[in-house]
Amino acid sequence: MITLRKITLENRRAIFNLEVSEDQRRFVASNLSSVASCYVLAVNGGHPFPFAIYADELPVGFVQYCWIPYKPDNVAAKKLYESFGFRDNGEIFNDESITVLRL
């Protein structure tokens, strides 16, 4: 069974050591780099969601998702987030538009 699990102190090294095939390395960052980016996003107002992908009890992959809220009339914030690849998803949370970066 395929499941998503939190990255913990216990499983982090197994996740960091996972690699894609040589011909795909130019498309994605390492898992260690991606988890570090999640930390930076989290301490700067983002809401990253990194997960380990498991096939039964075997770690086989990594996936992450991130969103940042902003006030709808804050055009500068919207343009800034869009310049980094974030896109509005049409949701409003606490009177703020939600912009999502699919990673």
pTM of the shown model: 0.66
Mean pLDDT (whole number) for 82-96:
87
Give the confidence band of 29 by pLDDT, cuts at 50, 70, 90: confident
Cβ neighbors of 48 (< 8 A, separation 6 or more) are 37, 38, 41, 42, 64, 65, 66
Q: What is the pLDDT of residue 25?
A: 83
Average pLDDT along the chain: 88
Whether residue 103 is predicted with pLDDT greater than 80 in this model: the reply is no
Q: What is the pLDDT of residue 69?
A: 85
Place of tokens 């770690």: 59
Q: Are 68 and 22 in contact (CB under 8 A)?
A: no
Whether residue 58 is predicted with pLDDT greater than 90 in this model: the reply is yes
